[in-house]
Amino acid sequence: KAGVTQTPRYLIKTRGQQVTLSCSPISGHRSVSWYQQTPGQGLQFLFEYFSETQRNKGNFPGRFSGRQFSNSRSEMNVSTLELGDSALYLCASSLLPGQGTGGDAFFGQGTRLTVV
């Protein structure tokens, strides 16, 4: 079956703009989590969605937001982009909320966002 699909793969934006990233989970998976990966901070949890509801959010400013649709597809939005938002944004899908059981979470290839 198809894996997690993230679009676009690469994106260049100007400081101050906003951006929307998309994640289509594996068919049947209802939970989507988003992570930001930078060389300095590594992988950091942004938020998790299940059944169109945000279950939890990491320590990021309100400029970072997301949503999930009834078909489990998810989008994340970053407003008023800053240079420091340049990163690889990854989403992971799983059948159920949480990834503690391991092996249930499958990551997409990510969207590489560059803010100039």
Regarding 28 and contact with other proteins (CB under 8 A), the answer is no
Regarding 60 and contact with other proteins (CB under 8 A), the answer is no
Among 19, 21, 76, 90, binds other proteins (CB under 8 A): 90
Regarding 86 and contact with other proteins (CB under 8 A), the answer is no
Q: Which is nearer to other proteins, 64 or 110 (CB)?
A: 110
CB of 112 to other proteins, least distance (A): 8
Regarding 102 and contact with other proteins (CB under 8 A), the answer is yes
What string of DSSP letters covers the chain? Answer: ----EEE-SEEEE-TT--EEEEEEPPTT--EEEEEEEETTTEEEEEEEEETTEEEEE-S--TTEEEEE-TTS-EEEEE-S--GGG-EEEEEEEESSS--TTSSS-EE---EEEEE-
CB of 16 to other proteins, least distance (A): 27
Order of strands, sheet of 64-68, starting from the edge strand that comes earlier in the sequence: 5-7, 19-24, 74-78, 64-68
Regarding 30 and contact with other proteins (CB under 8 A), the answer is no
Summarize as ranges the residues that interact with other proteins (CB under 8 A).
4, 33, 35, 41-48, 55-56, 58, 90, 92, 97-103, 105-110, 112
